[in-house]
């Protein structure tokens, strides 16, 4: 199909408004929105199908205007694009315009025409109220219809139209807020689209990753993301699976080993036979899970909805009582317009979504209001060590000389290995080179480096041919055994370190041990979490108990569990819960899935495995531990806003109700005050929770449920 035509209507720095005739088709709008929003640098895309208009906000520093227009030109209507179903258009302003025009025209019309214009204007409200009464019972829409209808029937046309305008304005702002917050959140969930090179009819064709068919063969090169689950049919490569399995060191992949979607090729080249594609990949399943989670209501929101519905009957009962006592229909209309429901039902979800969006902007994806609610309530936080308190940047910890014939010191061995490893891009190689650079070691001259992808390398030195790589490579490919040094190897492995084996043609030369490093923000994060009300901080590790306790002392943890097998993590969480604690768990690997599910709230690190991210209630999108504390603070702030809104709604509307019952407020004044309260609650909810300058808040003593 041809690309979609467009015409620029208006342009400012960072903003374009275009006329796109193709928007007349209902099937074009959302795919086009998704196509544009998936481009890095696009901030917002708004569609108006009725006007065939498209408005795009973008960051010119990240996205040049020409590239944005080229992206638009590349869109092909009718091509399948994976997108979330959501309302295509912005809420209509037509009812508001109709209200304003009616009020402006009323003084110019004769009395009979004024009645006709008024009923045409408020007809939608009356029909909606009748439909709600028939199908759902007594709801706020019924009260609104009664109030507006009574004013019109008594000839108070201005009162009826002004009241309808105020109610319509509240509904418009509510709908706009809901759609905007939903769209912003869903856009944050969309994975960046990946492209795939697929062999078709003897040629390589580049297509979107979600259009690869099962059984097709893909070719993946350095730096590219594997878009499908499948098996290697040819080639050898290093594959970074950190986003899938949590492993911090790239792994070797060659035929017939399995690869998974989301992995990134670090070195080499692979031909892959696709087995799981599109909706069957782990990434797609996780996206569905998150989308479903966002649609769930929290306990606070459900309770607010129940209380709001109950107060509709309170309003109706009060109106009936005041009419029975006074026979004053004006008072009845005023009472009808005192509605607790709008502010209660509006404030809670909007506050949650504002909090969710604020959290997302700080690198935290919280899967719905219920997860945020539970995050604010936990008093114990358990950390898995590897990948959470520590990160994947490796550092050299030990240089062990096994045979001094090519150098008697650790520095000599490290200098030789670094001189050869600087020609490789593997993280282990980079760590060794960095260690040599920090020690200011001199480069050792050597011959050409012979590199075997995903296994190791070797080069000729003056003294010998040095061979560096995995134990498997040296023993199976080079025939050099390390059995005589098993004690040193075992000691280092028991300490949780990764080993690089060094040998010459004469035999083993040495070992270089590396380990992941403590996150720079770990101590600050734990200190801030304590200030945010976390009473107990716990660490779980597979390391020896002594090693785990040493780290625990450094971080001043309350409890440390070492030598924990993966299947035991969930049991430890359950044991803490049996003590009456509300427990959060922070992890990143596939084996953390059960613990993430068992905890009251599970938090997955940004580089966590897909299974961990799917199991978790909260996913960090930034690779920083402080984001956990940010999430806790935002959750606190959001719950505080919900409490404030609830108290304000009940207090102010009760005062308005009292004024209406005593005949001190007219219907217009009642509607104005009620809608003013609702808009105030909305503004406060939209403001959302914000992180304090110091990055911490003091937990409120109030621990009861917000409503």
Quote the strand ranges of 184-328, DSSP E: 195-200, 203-208, 217-220, 229-240, 251-254, 258-259, 264-276
Cα dihedral 474, 477, 478, 482, rounded to 10, equals 40
Region of 633 (left: φ > 0; alpha: ψ -120 to 50; beta: rest) is alpha
Q: For residue 113, what are the contacts with CB-CB under 8 A and spacing of at least 6?
A: none
Distance CA 140, CA 337 (A): 9
In DSSP notation, 74-106 reads T--TTS---------SPPP-HHHHHHHHHHHHG
Q: Which of 505, 517, 345, 550 is nearest to 431 (CA)?
A: 517
Tell me the HSE value of 695 on the side-chain side, using a 13 A CA sphere: 14
Q: Is 129 within 8 Å of 142 (Cβ atoms)?
A: yes
CB atoms closer than 10 angstroms to residue 548: 22
In what helix (H) or strand (E) does residue 246 lie, and over which residues does it extend?
none
- Both tokens of 99, joined, read 């209200």
Locate tokens 């699976």: which residue? 241
Distance CA 473, CA 304 (A): 63
CB atoms closer than 10 angstroms to residue 287: 19
Q: Is 443 within 8 Å of 470 (Cβ atoms)?
A: no
Locate tokens 């998936």: which residue? 38
The DSSP bridge pattern shows strands 583-587 and 559-561 to be unpaired
Report how far apart the first and last C-alpha atoms of the chain are (Å, whole number).
55
Instruction: Give the distance from CA 59 to its chain's centroid.
Output: 21
Q: Which member of 144, 248, 384, 610 is catalytic?
A: 384
Q: Is 528 within 8 Å of 624 (Cβ atoms)?
A: no
Q: Is 24 within 8 Å of 15 (Cβ atoms)?
A: no
- Both tokens of 561, joined, read 């569990």
| 516 tagged catalytic | no
Phi, psi of 77 (to 5 degrees): -60, 135
Q: Is 402 within 8 Å of 605 (Cβ atoms)?
A: no
Q: Is 132 within 8 Å of 318 (Cβ atoms)?
A: no
DSSP, res 453: T
Positions annotated as catalytic residues are 384
């Amino acid at each position: 199909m041809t690309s979609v035509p467009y015409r620029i209507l208006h342009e400012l720095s960072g903003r374009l408004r275009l006329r796109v005739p193709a928007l007349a088709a209902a099937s074009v709008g959302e795919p086009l929105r998704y196509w544009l929003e998936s481009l890095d640098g696009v901030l917002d895309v708004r569609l108006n199908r009725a006007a065939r208009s498209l408005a795009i906000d973008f960051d010119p520093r990240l996205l040049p205007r020409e590239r944005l227009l080229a992206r638009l030109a590349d869109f092909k209507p009718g091509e399948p694009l994976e997108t979330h179903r959501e309302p295509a258009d912005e809420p209509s302003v037509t009812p508001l315009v109709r209200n304003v025009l009616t009020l402006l025209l009323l003084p110019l019309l004769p009395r009979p025409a004024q009645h006709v214009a008024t009923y045409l204007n408020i007809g939608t409200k009356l029909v909606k109220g009748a439909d709600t009464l028939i199908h759902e019972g007594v709801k706020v829409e019924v009260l609104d219809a009664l109030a507006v209808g009574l004013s019109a029937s008594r000839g108070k046309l201005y009162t009826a139209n002004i009241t309808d305008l105020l109610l319509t304005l509240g509904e418009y702002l509510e709908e706009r807020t809901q759609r905007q917050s939903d769209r912003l959140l869903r856009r944050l969930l969309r994975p960046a689209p990946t492209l795939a090179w697929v062999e078709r009819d003897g040629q390589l064709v580049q297509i979107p990753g979600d259009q690869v068919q099962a059984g097709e063969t893909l070719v993946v090169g350095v730096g590219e993301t594997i878009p499908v689950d499948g098996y290697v049919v040819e080639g050898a490569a290093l594959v970074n699976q950190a986003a899938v399995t949590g492993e911090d060191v790239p792994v070797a992949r060659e035929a017939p080993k399995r690869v998974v979607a989301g992995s990134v090729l670090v070195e080499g080249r692979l031909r892959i036979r696709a087995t799981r594609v599109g909706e069957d990949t782990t990434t797609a399943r996780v996206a569905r899970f998150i989308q479903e989670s966002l649609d769930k209501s929290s306990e606070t929101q459900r309770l607010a909805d129940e209380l709001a519905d109950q107060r509709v009957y309170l309003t109706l009962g009060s109106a009936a009582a005041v009419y029975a006592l006074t026979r004053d229909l004006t008072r009845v209309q005023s009472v009808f317009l005192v509605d607790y429901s709008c502010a209660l039902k509006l404030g809670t979800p909007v506050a949650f979504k504002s909090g969710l969006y604020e959290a997302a902007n700080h690198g935290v994806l919280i899967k719905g209001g219920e997860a945020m609610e539970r995050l604010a309530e936990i008093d114990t936080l358990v950390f898995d060590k590897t990948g959470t308190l520590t990160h994947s940047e490796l550092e050299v910890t030990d240089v062990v000389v096994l045979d001094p014939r090519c150098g008697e010191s650790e520095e000599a061995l490290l200098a030789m290995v670094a001189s050869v490893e600087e020609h490789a891009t593997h993280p282990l190689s980079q760590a060794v080179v960095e260690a040599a650079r920090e020690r200011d070691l001199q480069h050792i001259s050597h011959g050409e480096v012979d590199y075997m992808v995903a296994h190791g390398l070797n080069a000729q030195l003056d003294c010998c041919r040095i061979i560096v790589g995995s134990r498997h490579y040296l023993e199976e490919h080079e025939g050099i055994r390390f059995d005589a040094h098993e004690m040193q190897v075992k000691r280092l492995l028991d300490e949780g370190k990764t080993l690089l084996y060094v040998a010459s043609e004469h035999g083993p030369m040495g070992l270089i041990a590396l380990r992941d490093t403590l996150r720079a923000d770990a101590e600050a994060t734990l200190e801030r979490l304590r200030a945010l009300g976390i009473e107990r901080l716990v660490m779980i590790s597979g390391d020896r108990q002594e090693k785990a306790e040493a780290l625990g002392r450094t971080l001043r943890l309350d409890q440390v569990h070492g030598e924990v097998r993966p299947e035991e993590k969930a049991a430890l969480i359950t044991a803490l819960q049996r003590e009456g604690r509300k427990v959060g768990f922070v992890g990143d690997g596939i084996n953390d899935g059960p613990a993430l599910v068992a905890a009251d709230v599970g938090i997955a690190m940004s580089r966590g495995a897909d299974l961990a991210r799917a199991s978790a209630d909260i996913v960090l999108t930034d690779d920083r531990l402080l984001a956990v504390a940010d999430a806790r603070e935002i959750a606190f702030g959001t719950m505080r806003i919900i409490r404030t809104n609830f108290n304000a709604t009940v207090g102010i509307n009760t005062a308005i109700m009292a004024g209406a019952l005593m005949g001190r407020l007219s219907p217009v004044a009642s509607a104005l005050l009620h809608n003013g309260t609702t808009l105030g609650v909305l503004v406060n909810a939209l403001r959302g929770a914000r992180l304090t300058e110091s990055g911490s808040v003091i937990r409120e003593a109030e621990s009861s449920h917000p409503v």
